[in-house]
Structure 1
Amino acid sequence: MNFSPPLQPATLIKRYKRFLTDVTLPNGEEKTMHCANTGAMTGCAEPGNTIWYSTSDNAKRKYPNSWEISVNSKGDHICINTARANGLVAEAINQQRISELVGYDVLRTEVKYGNENSRIDILLESTSSVRAPCYIEVKSVTLLDEKNTTGQGYFPDAVTLRGQKHLRELMEVVKSGQRAVLFFAVLHTGIEKVSAAHHIDADYSQLLKQAKDIGVEVICYQAEISPKQMQLTSAIEFIDN
């Protein structure tokens, strides 16, 4: 995934009202930008951090600039725009860079499914065989345990009722005889392994254990991130609590 036009740098002042961010541009001008992240963003939004932002050509947008990447004090690059995760995963699947998900020839996104009025992020299908469809729920991982020196990452970074619903839906997919995948797109270059954040959302952690027990697959891939481009490159381990 290439950034076009290229991202531009700024210095973070603060994030507020969930969707807004104030920054200082290199010329000293202060500007308000959109923040496409509803999570806690722990460790990703420290005042003074360098951030990189995109610019939309949509004249109807009130805030044409969007915060895309944060660089923390250790130099880790973090994609805070959670809307990018689905595109990164779809791109990697289409380019056959996710070994666990090769062999399908149809990829659809945002397909309605389930009993709780959900939309699956990615649905893979094969027209040349009787292979069952594969339902993929994508989650963006950016929470790094700063006290752990082994690159321990966690999901979620806040209680997620929506995430709990998605796990229930994936379990029903498996029970119906189809394939279900929870895909953690790790968008923090300092994270080397992922676990469920039991200390943040115990219900989500317990549901994830149940989901894995009945056959929901968990796949984790880390992204290479720079102001020029991002791509998922390598599988990393999911560690059960």
Structure 2
Amino acid sequence: MLLPQPLTRGRIVQRYKRFFCDLVLDDGREITAHCPNSGAMLGVNLPGQGAWVSYSDDPKRKLAWTLQLVEAAGPDGTGLVGINTLLPNKLVAEALVGGVIPELVGYASIRPEVKYAAASRVDFLLTDPDRPPCWLEVKNVHLSRSPGLAEFPDCKAARSTRHLEDLAAQVREGHRAVALFVVQREDCEDFQACRELDPAFAAGLDRAADAGVEIMVWACAMSTREIRISRRIRSPHEAFVA
């Protein structure tokens, strides 16, 4: 998907109250940008890190600027990391329509935000007359603390753990269920649950996989113009296919 253009580069001063980030743009302007990420943003919220923001002239907005990308050190130098948690669902929608993920092609209908379980909405429900429905939950990944390794979550994620339980319940009903982790960075080859930061989620992911929930992890191609889901990376919960 194309990012709002043009993006403007600056450096992070501080990220605070979850949804605010102060930056100094490369031209010297000091701004406060909306930060569309409620997580801890470990490794992508450091003062002095390069960052890219978009601008909107919509008069209804409280903040005209939005933080989109952060520059983070990786094994091959500094790379772009997408921190906007609103984008993965859009990226997956494009990938589903474009047939990018082979295991998810061929469904007649793709419905977003469908209510299910006691108090949840699944990100996508894929249906087809000739096969069981597929309940697809999408998670955004930006954390990488070791070279080449992507991790989720970067803080306690009770809601995400509940989503895994909801997916497992669908499998018990005879349906198909998929947890798709979208890694908004290019420098990772492997993925694992972050047991240190949220052991409950890590255990929940193990249980979900054992129950038959399919775990898929796909990394993105990143630029200041476009982000797109591009390649599968390794996960301990699925056989790796290059």
1:123 alignment partner, one of 122, 125, 128 = 125
How much does 1:5 deviate? 2.6
Q: 2:162 aligns to what?
A: 165
Aligned-partner residue type, residue 132 of structure 2: A
Task: Report the RMSD for the aligned CA atoms in angstroms.
Answer: 1.2
Label 1:57 to 1:134 Cα distance change in 2 as closer, same or farther (>3 A). Answer: farther
Q: Which residue of 2 aligns with 1:208?
A: 205
Aligned partner of 2:21 in structure 1 is: 21
Post-superposition CA distance 1:125-177 (Å, at most 9, x none): 12xx33111111100111102xx34x111111101110111011001110111
State the partner residue of 1:66: 66
3-state SS of 1:144 partner: strand
Q: In structure 2, how many angstroms separate the alpha carbons of the residues matched to 1:57 and 1:107?
A: 33
Counterparts of residues 168-183 of structure 1 (less than 5 Å): 168-183=165-180
Structure 2 distance, partners of 1:216, 1:77, is 30
Moved more, 152-161 or 49-58: 49-58
Report the Cα offset of residue 53 of structure 1: 1.1
| Structure 1, unaligned runs of 5 or more | none
Distance across 1 between alignment mates of 2:143 and 2:230: 19
225, 234, 237: which is aligned to 1:237?
Answer: 234
Residue 200 of structure 1 and its aligned partner are, at CA, apart by 1.0
1:81 aligns with 2:84: yes
Task: Answer whether contact 2:51 2:69 (CA < 8 A) is retained.
Answer: yes
Q: How many percent identity over aligned positions?
A: 38
Paired positions, count: 234
Query: Partner of 2:184 in structure 1?
Result: 187
State TM-score, norm by structure 2: 0.93
Q: Please, what TM-score do these two structures have when normalized by structure 1?
A: 0.94
